[in-house]
A = this chain, B = another copy of it.
Amino acid sequence: MSTSTGQQDLFEPETDKMTDAKAAKAAKDKADKNGRAAETAESMAKRQREISVSEFFTKNRHLLGFDSPRKALLTAVKEAVDNSLDACEEARIQPDIVVTIARIGQSEKQFTMTVEDNGPGIVKAQVPNVFGRLLYGSKFHRLRQSRGQQGIGISAAGMYGQLTTGAPVRVRTKPGKKSVPLAFEIKIDTARNRPEFKDTVIEWDKDHGTEVAIDMEGEYRRGQKSVEEFLKLMAVANPHVKLTFKDPDGNVTEYNRGTNELPKEVEEIKPHPHGVELGILLKMMAESENRTVSAFLQQDFSRVGPGVAKEICDKAGIKPETNPSRLDAAAVQKLKAAIDATKIMAPPLSCIAPIGEDLILAGLKKEVEADFYVATSRRPVVYRGHPFAIEVGIAYGKPGDTLHMTDAGKIVEVATKKPENQEVLMGNADEPIRLIRFANRVPLVFQQSACAITKAVIATNWKNYGLQQPRGSLPIGPMVVFVHIASVWVPFTSESKEAIASYDEILEELRLGLMEAGRKLGTHVRKGKKLANEFKKRNYIETYIPHLVVALKDILKLDEKEAVKARENLTVVLEKSRKL
């Protein structure tokens, strides 16, 4: 740099150094006017260097969900719970998770977040990498549904803890009954994105499992967007999980299992040819162990048999037995065009595990008291070669606000009772509905307005289903709408995984799912309105019949028995005339 501001200028900007500074500035101005380069290619080159991914995310920690102390606590819990559930399900273990948030000393600003699971544990060599290195993991390269997918989350939580308290991440893990339990203290060297750690053999009275504890700056609050609410929503979408939450004040909340069945085991798939982009195809061909294009197509993709492989090669004008490494870029372009022009069976759907209508209903009923429930689980489809499925659930109407017809056909007003969890999940009749969003069974708590799910709910015409809806807004009413996307790769709008990107295929499926559930809701809402009208009318009848009967009794000189009979008959006739 041509500017020669020394250290002193910064420290003592108003000293007698100003004369020098002025002279330097004059010289610089002159240099500028002469068009002389203040910096040159050479001077710039000296500063060029690699940026470690940890440094990048330390400076950009809001991208990872660590932008405020309050959010940080929730994000850390989310990442740890995600990992525990993924590990338990892969190992086919019914998850039993304990989340604890405790103050450090008397501090209201520093907390220890601890998540303990009964999962399969982690082998010694991998522990430091899993917790002390960003972009490291087993889920990124694999095409199958899981909560984690980036290899960033839990290390990022640890990095945030280290940044704000200087403390290392503490991990205890035991991979099986006969394994030796180990405790680790792990720090991230952010300049290299590598762990620094020490480990010790410990006693741990547990068959298998992992516990991670992170000290961090945080802010603990209840209510909306709290750890508590996140865990409640987690329980809605994961009825197979037992969750225990211990808050900083010593309160313990338990979410018990609604089912003993684990989600269907998901299988890894190969990429589908229709999703592949040219650059990826070139890379796959370069890396393939197969020696003919035909074998390459069949072995490295899903849904390509010998017939389809031959069809593709024919269309591309390439001999099936050509060695893939001998095709030039132009030939691969032709191959790509041929793939796109060939009909190929949709990818196998064994790679994803939607929740299913029954369990969505069970989850909603467990956590939301409502008058009416409906769920829709759509058949999986594909975006960019990635299978995904959309599921929608609706819980409508606060008990007490609505009318019921008894089995005997009698309409009654149900006594208002205060459902235990209602204040958290369902709003009032004159408030916007409550939208709860999930991706691969994980609740999405932040960035609602940036999410494709929200956009799809707003774009749906809820007036068709009997609800009010201000233009460009969520509908109004006592309703919880549950939306879940299950996919081998969920496209999030940022690394913090808070909102879904608006891919056209995803928006379209959301639209269809919401309409499907909406139609069923509409029938109920209209029936409810009809019932309410009936109720009013019937009250009217019941009010006036006695007066009618008194008059009739008078006019026709009826005795008491005849009057009772007349009253019964009148009621029957009037009700019939209303065609109930």
Contact B279 A130 (CB under 8 A): no
A137 at the interface (CB under 8 A from B): yes
Q: A42-B123, A67-B501 are in contact. Are A135 and B50 (CB under 8 A)?
A: yes
A556 at the interface (CB under 8 A from B): no
Which residues of B are found within 8 Å of A138, using beta-carbon distances? 44, 47-49
Partner of A90, one of B44, B135, B348: B44
Which residues of B are found within 8 Å of A40, using beta-carbon distances? 91, 120, 175-176
Which residues of B are found within 8 Å of A112, using beta-carbon distances? none
Partner of A164, one of B92, B120, B277, B303: B277
A580 at the interface (CB under 8 A from B): no
Contact A32 B278 (CB under 8 A): no
CB of A111 to closest CB in B, whole Å: 15
Interface size range of chain A in the complex: 35 or more
- A138–B40 CA distance with the chains assembled, in angstroms: 13
A412 at the interface (CB under 8 A from B): no
A31 at the interface (CB under 8 A from B): yes
Q: A91-B39, A164-B277, A262-B32 are in contact. Are A298 and B11 (CB under 8 A)?
A: yes
Partner of A493, one of B37, B50, B62, B501: B62
Which residues of B are found within 8 Å of A140, using beta-carbon distances? 51, 55-56, 59
Tell me which residues from 136 to 180 in chain A have a Cβ below 8 Å from any Cβ of chain B: 136-138, 140-142, 150-151, 162-167, 175-176, 179
Which label, helix, strand, loop or mixed, suits the secondary structure of the A interface? loop
Closest to A287 in B: B191
Q: Which of A218-226, A248-256, A263-271 contacts B (4 or more CB under 8 A)?
A: A263-271
Q: A36-B92, A60-B491, A277-B163 are in contact. Are A267 and B41 (CB under 8 A)?
A: no
Contact A28 B265 (CB under 8 A): yes
Contact B123 A37 (CB under 8 A): no
- A46–B87 CA distance with the chains assembled, in angstroms: 14
Q: Which of A2-10, A95-103, A511-519 contacts B (4 or more CB under 8 A)?
A: A2-10
CB of A262 to closest CB in B, whole Å: 7
A23 at the interface (CB under 8 A from B): no
Closest to A336 in B: B166
Tell me which residues from 18 to 42 in chain A have a Cβ below 8 Å from any Cβ of chain B: 28, 31-32, 35-42
Contact A164 B53 (CB under 8 A): no
Q: A32-B262, A175-B42 are in contact. Are A92 and B37 (CB under 8 A)?
A: yes
Contact A52 B279 (CB under 8 A): no
Closest to A47 in B: B138
CB of A495 to closest CB in B, whole Å: 7
Contact B48 A267 (CB under 8 A): no
Q: A48-B129, A50-B135, A265-B32 are in contact. Are A120 and B37 (CB under 8 A)?
A: yes
Which residues of B are found within 8 Å of A323, using beta-carbon distances? none
A419 at the interface (CB under 8 A from B): no
- A45–B491 CA distance with the chains assembled, in angstroms: 26
Contact A269 B32 (CB under 8 A): no
Contact A38 B265 (CB under 8 A): yes
- A489–B56 CA distance with the chains assembled, in angstroms: 12
- A348–B268 CA distance with the chains assembled, in angstroms: 55
Tell me which residues from 508 to 528 in chain A have a Cβ below 8 Å from any Cβ of chain B: none
Which residues of B are found within 8 Å of A283, using beta-carbon distances? 190
Contact A10 B270 (CB under 8 A): yes
* Additional pairs, 10, CB under 8 Å, beyond known A49-B137, A67-B501: A10-B270, A11-B298, A39-B90, A41-B122, A42-B175, A50-B136, A51-B137, A53-B135, A190-B283, A447-B450
Could you write out 22 A-B pairs with CB less than 8 Å apart? A1-B268, A3-B265, A7-B299, A10-B269, A10-B303, A10-B348, A32-B92, A37-B120, A40-B91, A41-B176, A41-B179, A41-B208, A42-B123, A44-B91, A44-B120, A44-B138, A45-B123, A48-B129, A55-B141, A56-B140, A67-B501, A166-B332
Sort A-B residue pairs by CB-CB distance and give the 6 closest, nearest first. A163-B279, A41-B175, A47-B138, A37-B91, A38-B92, A51-B135
